Structure 1
Amino acid sequence: MLPALFLAHGSPMLAIEQTDYTQFLERLGQTLKPKAIVIFSAHWESEVQSISFTDGVYETIHDFYGFPEELYALRYPAKGSVQLAERLAEMFTDGGIEVRKDRSRGLDHGSWTLLHRMYPQADIPVIQLSVNSFLPPETQFNIGACLRGIGAEGILVIGSGVTVHNLRALKWEQTTPEPWAVAFDDWLVEKVRTKDWDNLFRYAELAPYADMAVPTPEHFVPLFITMGSGSPQAEAKVLHRSYDLGTLSYLCLQF
């Protein structure tokens, strides 16, 4: 039974840097050997739940600016799976979620930077899915719940986002985390470990410094999707926790 994972994609530089976090991702990929990967990316937003729908090789989307040329030269030539995408569409439809099949979109950096570190051979089929950041947390949770149990078939569900993601609050030369960022994640970890979903759904009003940590929700909603897709019997736990640039959280969770 594969778990559901919330993984931080942070800076695109994680694709080429050597850090404690990138080493963690490499070890994680060596530990988990899925038959296919289903990944919800914070960088693909749409009102209707969209699913990549192809058997071909994905375009590698470099949806960022001002980074080293080495990063733009990277390609992650993973293939999709129409068969699996069709199955996911049916699972969403059965759960009352409207679906749109996208036959042209490539993998954005919310997906390929992580997968490049975890599975560098790009030999595992990938299905990328969009997020709708305007839906309430309960609905995000229910979207994930449509896929509950798929881990038993060797399919890895990943929510790719960031818990503390405030680009205006980055401290470019700082190597230690800001106390407010730590406080927000502390609250989050406590609620996740006890599976206190109701209070997590109300994070915006209950969590300390929520308005600083989550100024916009698109990077946060993959967490709720992953929570919903995990097994109710599985232990919810922290896999990794570190910070970059003072406030950028690399908190990773398993459900």
Structure 2
Amino acid sequence: MNITDRTIFIPGATSGIGRALALAFAERGNTVIVGGRRTELIDELRRSHPAIDGVVIDVADAASVQRAADEVIARHPDLDTVVAMAGIMAAEDWTSPAGFLASAERTVETNLLGPIRLIGAFIEHLLTCPDATIVTVSSGLAFTPLRVTPSYNATKAAIHMLSESLRLQYEGTSVGIVELVPPAVQTDLLPGHAENPQALPLEAFVAEVMGILEREPDVREVLVDRVRFLRHGEARGDYDEVVRMVNATDPHGQR
């Protein structure tokens, strides 16, 4: 994935990793369109960064996704990159339905169906581009589970396998799949997580991501150094120890 001269849509870019990536891409001269549920956050971002466009989108609402896609393509017909950034995370207690069912349904709706809907809304357009990219966002927790966030772990594991499968389906087309695999990053994904000293500072994470993309334009998985411990535990043969360490030292979760 080249990271200059692109037109990039990033839903879920009004805060956290999505916002930081949007600014980083815009600083490199790309055309960036952010998406989010809250109009005031989109307007604030557009006022402070006039080169960035924005649309309202709720990835948990299929009609909203299609409306946003139609609007983005109409205003930016040269769109060639979609970053499926939106996601939620919640602690759950699976010992009773009251402790997890509603949260699990919301998490699957946003984290898994959301990216599926985005791809469905944009894929016909992207297939007409000479060089297009879909960026999926999984997590280190797709490979090493955190005890308190079962649904989040599961949706991110599904995103990883979806990315692998789509890469096979789009082979021979103009559409490439890049999977971003964050570790714990200091964002508000969970309450208090932005101050978690065990998490990677947001600015450092995004700087490392952009460096990887610059050095490795054909990269399939974007793995910052901090996430390799989680990503490769099973391959190294120390998976059980990695699971133990993650659940002993990080009660707040990972992105």
TM-score over 0.5 for the alignment?
no
TM range (shorter): 0.3 to 0.5
Structure with the higher helix share, 1 or 2: 2
Bigger relative contact order, structure 1 or 2 (CA pairs below 8 A, ≥6 apart)? 1
TM-score by length of 2: 0.33
